[in-house]
C-alpha cells in the first residue's frame, strides 16, 4: 500500500513561485473582507474574500486569502492556524481545488 500522507496532497509538483490561495475557516459571523485583510496584512495578501450566504448576506464562516508566494503562505499558516479570533480558533491551510469528484472520498471497502 502507498504510504499515508500527513499533509494536504503531499505538495509534490506544487508551484514554487506565484500567488498561493489559502482557505481560512471557522470565522466568526462578524468577520468581513476588511477584517480578514487586517489579519493577513503583514503576509502580502492581495485578495481577501469572506464567503457569504446568497440569501441572508451573512458570513458562511470561511473565506479565502491570496498571498504573494509560498513563503508568505507558510508564514501565515504557521502564525495564524489555530489562533483564536473572536473566541474561535482559525483554520488556515492551502486551498486545494477539487478535481474530478468529491475531495477526500473514503477508500472503497472490499469484502
Question: Mean pLDDT over all residues of the chain?
Answer: 82
Please state, for a pLDDT cut of 70, what percent of the chain lies above it. 74
Q: How far apart are CA 29 and CA 23, in angstroms?
A: 16
- 35 vs 110, residue with greater confidence: 35
pLDDT of residue 69: 94
Q: How many residues can be counted in the chain?
A: 111
Q: What is the pLDDT of residues 55-104, one digit of tens each?
A: 998 999 999 999 999 999 999 999 999 999 999 999 999 998 766 555 55
Amino acid at each position: 500500500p502507498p504510504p499515508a500522507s500527513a499533509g494536504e496532497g503531499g505538495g509534490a509538483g506544487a508551484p514554487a513561485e506565484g500567488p498561493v490561495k489559502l482557505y481560512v475557516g471557522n470565522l466568526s459571523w462578524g468577520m468581513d473582507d476588511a477584517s480578514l485583510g487586517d489579519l493577513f496584512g503583514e503576509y502580502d495578501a492581495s485578495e481577501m474574500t469572506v464567503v457569504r450566504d446568497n440569501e441572508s448576506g451573512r458570513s458562511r464562516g470561511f473565506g479565502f486569502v491570496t498571498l504573494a508566494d509560498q513563503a508568505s503562505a507558510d508564514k501565515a499558516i504557521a502564525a495564524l492556524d489555530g489562533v483564536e479570533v473572536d473566541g474561535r480558533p482559525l483554520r488556515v491551510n492551502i486551498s486545494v481545488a477539487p478535481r474530478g469528484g468529491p475531495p477526500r472520498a473514503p477508500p472503497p471497502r472490499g469484502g
